[in-house]
Amino acid sequence: MTTVPSPTADTRWRCTLCGNLTRFDVTRSSKVVEYVHLDLAGEPTVEEREVVSETIESVRCRWCNAVDQIELVDRPGAGS
């Protein structure tokens, strides 16, 4: 399985097939530690959440449905 790089402060995703820059379905796996508080009725509330690790497994373009056509490109004004 190939992981997809995450966008940074200077980059963003772009679909090489249709040019989409804004709409993607992201499948990710996360390992988290949560502090869960149960009220007296037994209803859980997550009060703290720490992400231990996270991997983006796939990014699918919402416009054209492409899965293997996502690349990282510079954001406008990045590096200036």
Residue 63 has pLDDT above 80, yes or no: yes
Whole-angstrom distance, CA of residue 32 vs CA of residue 61: 27
Kindly state the tokens that stand for 3.
Answer: 């992981």
Residue 6 has pLDDT above 60, yes or no: yes
Low-confidence winner among 1-10, 21-30, 37-46, 48-57 (lowest mean pLDDT): 1-10
